Amino acid sequence: MQPRTTSQLATPALLIDLDALNGNLRTMSLRHPGTKLRPHTKAHKCTNLANLQSQYGHKTFTCATPREIIGMAAAGVGQDYLLANEVVDPNRLSALAKVSQSARVTLAVDSETTVMAAARAGLRDVLIDVNVGLPRCGIAPALAGQLADFARTQKLNVHGVMGYEGHLMMIDGHEKRKQRVAESMQLLARAAQDVGGEIISAGGTGTFDLHDETCINELQAGSYALMDTHYAKLNLPFDQSCFVLGTVISKSTDWLVIDVGLKSLGMDHGNPSVQGFDVMFCSDEHTTLAPKKDSVNINVSVGDKLRVIPAHIDPTMSMHELAFLVRGDEVIDSWPIDLRGW
Amino acid sequence: MQPRTTSQLATPALLIDLDALNGNLRTMSLRHPGTKLRPHTKAHKCTNLANLQSQYGHKTFTCATPREIIGMAAAGVGQDYLLANEVVDPNRLSALAKVSQSARVTLAVDSETTVMAAARAGLRDVLIDVNVGLPRCGIAPALAGQLADFARTQKLNVHGVMGYEGHLMMIDGHEKRKQRVAESMQLLARAAQDVGGEIISAGGTGTFDLHDETCINELQAGSYALMDTHYAKLNLPFDQSCFVLGTVISKSTDWLVIDVGLKSLGMDHGNPSVQGFDVMFCSDEHTTLAPKKDSVNINVSVGDKLRVIPAHIDPTMSMHELAFLVRGDEVIDSWPIDLRGW
């Protein structure tokens, strides 16, 4: 039986505040309507959530893994998928080629090897992935045109370019961040000119409002829907809509322990946050909390439930099988996190 | 079809080196034979691996979540399970009570609330969880006897005490660590005297050889089987037997990128390691590597595979669906990581 209130949930349990989620989706869709936004499914790995994004007008999606595309297509959500990542595995590329018979599947490529792997598997649509400053995937901007020419010799349709200015998401200060993004996107613009095609795709939640004057015509943002304490530092107009619910299982004089630990929280951005408490440390299945000195809300007993705010939403989502949709403490629905894995 | 070599595996893929694993299990079973070791399943979450531990003579197991016990019992591995963690959820406790009809299920309790929850659910066997210095679960040593008395009024069988000296695992220097463990175990010994019962359970991989003169009669170690770079710092007689295999998907002048990222690696102990390379950073689906300056092995191409050594094995295991058993590059078998979740 579906629990009706959060107090009935077995913990750790992933909660999504439906009103906050809708608010975030609305805010973003007003700023980047329709195909101006290509929501990134890697941030939530949930076809139900992607379906809600499509109801806000977005029918094109960004994915990070073949399984995300295969799952989205199987669920019938969206009709145009960009795999914003390099893949050389022939079996996975063949599976994507199968999906491409009934939906648009575009693959990022950044080398002759990835171009040839795509062509051999029967994929037809690619973007040239361009390095715009983050030391990760992407070909040097000056070489992008040459790779596009090579891709065309392999009978691939080159639809344009993508880049990801991930190194600039957390630059302190809005104006400074905007300036650095503009410089980074000049690299992408140069590559776009050499490559040709109709798509110039880049960006993320941290730079969602910094592209008005750049060359891009679609934004790849994902974390805006659920948010985390890391992105919250930027004072974006998106509210925290995702929490991990925990139960107090132990209480001592100076601390208490909840059953949410580092197996249910992405930890690469450090400790999570809990309102009214300082996080002392996380273990596999536990987080030890000390009441904040100025906190009046310390009347917590064993069995009580507390909400934990993740420091990094993307890996947190991929640790859970299910998310519970809530309004306040009422449980409205549950969504499987069905795009996990690779 | 089961891949026959690691080169055929889709990545990221969890690899377990079968010879190294057997070596670790043998080393530990010689030091702590039979019930002297209560292997912790939370470190691997895999009934096949637990079954191999039972072939080395260990029939009693430690678990961290109800699902681990339920899964172990369903797989018929072991016959005596200790849930070394507090649980108040009535549904999960009832599920454990059901398992306890055909196997010994002992629950850790550290408060009147957890005692009453266990009794109400029909569980009969408990240990008093004692705080031995780690600020987490466990009742203060001086109060343990009193809680045991209360548990007996609730018709529970109190089999003894457990503690976990987790704060001492990484103390620098073998002798200093041994001294601190001895002091910590004096707290447990005092509680054991007040509580009564036949079990005094504590310890972990980092203190596996420091208990010859302490009061404990069983060691709860788990990470020794697979190991990680964190425990490797202690120069223990256990070899790294677990790796995450990645494929090189992109290569630039100064770095290369593999498709193993922070969604396939526990990150709370920091970055993983890759032989011959410096890890620049991990993203959700990527790790960027730079060849070490003194490395001669930099002839790596897109499509090549590299082994990543996790910094923390327990959360790494819980991110994967499957582990591939290997001997060198030969794939011998695959094991589901079937005890994931809570």
Is the bond preceding A315 in cis, omega lying within 30 degrees of 0? no
Among B94, B172, B84, CA closest to B129: B84
The pLDDT assigned to A139 comes to 98
Measured distance CA(A90)–CA(B319) in Å, rounded = 24
* Mean pLDDT to the nearest integer, A137-164: 98
Please check the confidence at residue A294 and state whether its pLDDT lies above 90. no
Query: Rg of chain A over CA atoms, in angstroms?
Result: 21
Which residues lie across from A106 on neighbouring strands?
A82, A125
Residues from chain A contacting residue B314 (CB–CB below 8 Å): 263, 284
The pLDDT assigned to A89 comes to 97
The pLDDT assigned to A297 comes to 58
Measured distance CA(A18)–CA(A22) in Å, rounded = 6
The pLDDT assigned to A171 comes to 92
Measured distance CA(B229)–CA(B222) in Å, rounded = 15
Q: Spell out the residues 6+ positions from residue B235 whose beta carbon is closer than 8 angstroms to its own.
A: none
The pLDDT assigned to B216 comes to 98
- 3-class state of residue A165 by DSSP: coil
In chain B, DSSP assigns E strands to 13-17, 60-63, 80-83, 104-109, 125-129, 157-162, 199-202, 218-219, 242-251, 256-258, 277-282, 287-291, 305-308, 322-327, 330-336
Residues from chain B contacting residue A257 (CB–CB below 8 Å): 86, 136-137
In degrees and rounded to multiples of 5, residue A76 shows phi and psi of: 70, 30
Which helix H or strand E contains B75, and what residues bound it? Answer: helix B66-75
Which residue out of A8, A263, A304, A306 would a mutagenesis test of the B interface target, given it has the greatest number of B Cβ atoms within 10 Å?
A: A263
Are the CB atoms for A110 and A136 separated by under 8 Å?
A: no
Q: Of A249, A318, A341, which is closest to B87 when you measure between CB atoms?
A: A249
Interchain CB distance below 8 Å, B135 and A252 = yes
Angle of CA points B239, B329, A115, to nearest 5°: 125
* Mean pLDDT to the nearest integer, A182-196: 98
Give the distance from residue B274's alpha carbon to the nearest chain A alpha carbon, in angstroms. Answer: 17
- CB atoms under 10 Å from CB of B182, counted, come to 15
Please check the confidence at residue A299 and state whether its pLDDT lies above 90. no
Measured distance CA(B321)–CA(A22) in Å, rounded = 32
Instruction: Report CA dihedral (A166, A167, A173, A177) to the nearest 10 degrees.
Output: -70
Per-residue pLDDT tens digits for A243-292: 999 999 999 999 999 999 999 999 999 999 999 999 999 999 999 999 99
Q: Of A302, A315, A318, which is closest to B114 when you measure between CB atoms?
A: A302
Residue with tokens 């040593």: B141
Mean pLDDT rounded to a whole number for chain A: 97
pTM over 0.90? The answer is: yes
Q: Of A10, A262, A303, which is closest to B342 when you measure between CB atoms?
A: A10
- CB atoms under 10 Å from CB of B94, counted, come to 14
- In chain A, the largest separation of any two C-alpha atoms, in whole Å, equals 71
Interchain CB distance below 8 Å, B286 and A137 = yes
What residue type is assigned to position B318 of the chain? Answer: S
Is residue A63 very low, low, confident or very high in pLDDT (cuts 50, 70, 90)? very high
Q: Where are the alpha helices (DSSP H) in chain A?
A: 18-31, 47-55, 66-75, 90-99, 112-121, 144-153, 174-195, 229-232, 313-317
Residue with tokens 């939370």: B42
The pLDDT assigned to B299 comes to 85
At the second CATH level, the architecture of B19-226 is Alpha-Beta Barrel (3.20)
Bridge-based pairing state of the strands A305-308 and A242-251: antiparallel
Please check the confidence at residue A296 and state whether its pLDDT lies above 90. no
Interchain CB distance below 8 Å, A263 and B314 = yes
Share of chain A above pLDDT 70, in %: 99
Domain A18-224 has CATH 1.10.3720.10: no
Which helix H or strand E contains B29, and what residues bound it? Answer: helix B18-31
Interchain CB distance below 8 Å, B86 and A301 = no
Interchain CB distance below 8 Å, A249 and B137 = yes
Interchain CB distance below 8 Å, A137 and B249 = yes
* Contacts across the A-B interface (CB distance below 8 Å): 151
Q: pLDDT (tens digit, 0 to 9) for every residue of chain B, 342 residues total?
A: 678 999 999 999 999 999 999 999 999 999 999 999 999 999 999 999 999 999 999 999 999 999 999 999 999 999 999 999 999 999 999 999 999 999 999 999 999 999 999 999 999 999 999 999 999 999 999 999 999 999 999 999 999 999 999 999 999 999 999 999 999 999 999 999 999 999 999 999 999 999 999 999 999 999 999 999 999 999 999 999 999 999 999 999 999 999 999 999 999 999 999 999 999 999 999 999 999 987 765 689 999 999 999 999 999 999 999 999 999 999 999 999 999 999
Interchain CB distance below 8 Å, B268 and A288 = no
Please check the confidence at residue A61 and state whether its pLDDT lies above 70. yes
Residues from chain B contacting residue A301 (CB–CB below 8 Å): 113
Interchain CB distance below 8 Å, A314 and B284 = yes
- 3-class state of residue B283 by DSSP: coil
Interchain CB distance below 8 Å, A87 and B135 = no
Give the distance from residue A201's alpha carbon to the nearest chain B alpha carbon, in angstroms. Answer: 19
Among B304, B227, B318, B215, CA closest to A89: B304
* Mean pLDDT to the nearest integer, A220-239: 97
Are the CB atoms for A265 and A282 separated by under 8 Å?
A: yes
Rounded to whole angstroms, what are the CA distances from B3 to A138, B6, B219? Answer: 30, 7, 37
Residues from chain A contacting residue B85 (CB–CB below 8 Å): 249, 259, 285-286
Among B194, B187, B193, CA closest to B202: B187
Q: Of A88, A117, A251, which is closest to B111 when you measure between CB atoms?
A: A251
Interchain CB distance below 8 Å, A249 and B341 = no
The chain B residue lying nearest A286, using CA atoms, is B136
Measured distance CA(A237)–CA(B101) in Å, rounded = 54
Which residue out of B167, B248, B252, B316 would a mutagenesis test of the A interface target, given it has the greatest number of A Cβ atoms within 10 Å?
A: B252
Give the distance from residue B45's alpha carbon to the nearest chain A alpha carbon, in angstroms. Answer: 12
- The distance of Cα A336 from the centroid of its chain, to the nearest Å, equals 16
Residues from chain A contacting residue B137 (CB–CB below 8 Å): 249-250, 257, 286
Bridge-based pairing state of the strands B80-83 and B60-63: parallel
Orientation of helix A66-75 relative to helix A47-55, angle to 10°: 60
What residue type is assigned to position A297 of the chain? Answer: N
**DSSP code of B244?**
E
Rounded to whole angstroms, what are the CA distances from B318 to A63, A150, A278, B323? Answer: 23, 41, 26, 11
The chain B residue lying nearest A143, using CA atoms, is B252
Which residue out of B1, B42, B87, B88 would a mutagenesis test of the A interface target, given it has the greatest number of A Cβ atoms within 10 Å?
A: B88
Measured distance CA(B240)–CA(B310) in Å, rounded = 10
Measured distance CA(A47)–CA(A68) in Å, rounded = 9
Give the distance from residue A112's alpha carbon to the nearest chain B alpha carbon, in angstroms. Answer: 10
Interchain CB distance below 8 Å, A285 and B250 = no
Give the distance from residue A76's alpha carbon to the nearest chain B alpha carbon, in angstroms. Answer: 24
Structure tokens at B286: 């990527």
**Residue extent(s) of CATH 2.40.37.20 domains in chain B:** 6-14+237-336
CATH topology of domain B6-14+237-336: Lyase, Ornithine Decarboxylase; Chain A, domain 1 (2.40.37)
Interchain CB distance below 8 Å, B136 and A283 = yes
The chain B residue lying nearest A89, using CA atoms, is B10
Q: Spell out the residues 6+ positions from residue A159 whose beta carbon is closer than 8 angstroms to its own.
A: A106, A125, A126, A127, A197, A198, A199
Interchain CB distance below 8 Å, B319 and A318 = yes
* Mean pLDDT to the nearest integer, A177-201: 98
Indicate the burial class of A123 (C-beta count within 10 angstroms; 0-12, 13-18, 19 or more): buried
